[in-house]
Amino acid sequence: MIKVLSNNNKWQGALYSLVLVIIIWQALSWLLKLPIIPSPFAVLINIIQIFAAKMEIHLLYSLGRIVGGIVLSIMLGVPLGFLMGYFKRVDKVLSPLVYFTYPVPKIALLPIIMLLFGLGEASKLIMIVLIIIFQIIITSRDAVKGIPQEIFRSLQSLGANRLQIFKEVIIPASMADVLTATRLALGTAVSILFFTETFGTQYGMGYFIMDAWMRVNYLDMYAGIIILSLMGFCLFTVIDITEKHISSWR
């Protein structure tokens, strides 16, 4: 009962803030009467009119890139983090490397990535992975390190092999933390996605928004921003729900 109530509250809160944003936006549009701030309702109508014909393909590209980036980051980062958390020697070798590269602003590496991997999909994917993967590596390593010794002892005394220890202990103990890290990294990942889509491609929400801007089509530009934000919000929500489901034991 309490859970349902708090969920309802959350949705109510989201609705209120949405209404508030629309009111402020509408007020600004009336007050300033500038073409760069169209009415939110005009933008909404524009989305309905052009979404299927003009935006869908761009959304699918962006969604593909970011989901691909997340999946790849988890597939590479989680095993690496597990190895670092489980084997002290691996941690000793890799930790300094991770700590050294973690604070480097990854976006500054973009020119190098582009020189090495070209302007195509690979560069975009690598940029997203570079943003997300460090948090995933560090979180999964710390999650493994945080598992109490008694739990390992119980499994050892049962004669469990490494594979069983990974399956029964390490993966379930750390999955929730990994998803939290992914959710937190998602915001930055969407920004990077936008940035990488402004060159070397004719598809993606980043391209769509910048293209509308160049054509001075502000209605389309706002439509793009809203759809990109919605995409981020949906991904955020999906990860959030999965996380809650997985960590119901907490």
Partner 1 sequence: MIEIKDLVVKYRRKNEETLALDKININIGTGDIYTFIGPSGCGKSTLLHVLSGILRNYTGSVRIDGRAIDPKTQRIGLILQNYGLLPWKNVYHNTMLGVKIKNDQQVMDDYGRYILQQLGIESLLDRYPKELSGGQQQRVAIARAFILKPDLLLMDEPFSALDAISREELQDLFLKIWKENNVTTAFITHSVDEALYLGSKIVVFSPAPGRILEVVDNPCFQLDNLRFRDEYYDMCMNLRKILDKG
Q: Please give the residue ranges that form the binding site for partner 1 (CB under 8 A).
A: 148, 150-151, 153-161, 164, 168-169, 172-173, 248-250
- Least distance between partner 1 and beta carbon 163 (Å): 11
CA atoms within 13 A on the CB side of 169: 23
- Least distance between partner 1 and beta carbon 221 (Å): 46
Task: Map residue 80 onto helix, strand or coil.
Answer: helix
If the CB atoms of residues 175 and 186 are measured against partner 1, the closer one turns out to be: 175
- Residue listed under structure tokens 């399956």: 167
- Least distance between partner 1 and beta carbon 155 (Å): 7
If the CB atoms of residues 110 and 170 are measured against partner 1, the closer one turns out to be: 170
If the CB atoms of residues 103 and 148 are measured against partner 1, the closer one turns out to be: 148
- Least distance between partner 1 and beta carbon 150 (Å): 5
Q: Which residues of 180-205 are buried (b: 16+ CB within 10 A; e: fewer)?
A: bbbbebbeebbebbbebbeeebebbb
Quick check: 128 and 65 in contact, CB under 8 A? yes
If the CB atoms of residues 172 and 187 are measured against partner 1, the closer one turns out to be: 172
Residue 245: what residue type?
H
If the CB atoms of residues 12 and 154 are measured against partner 1, the closer one turns out to be: 154
- Least distance between partner 1 and beta carbon 181 (Å): 18
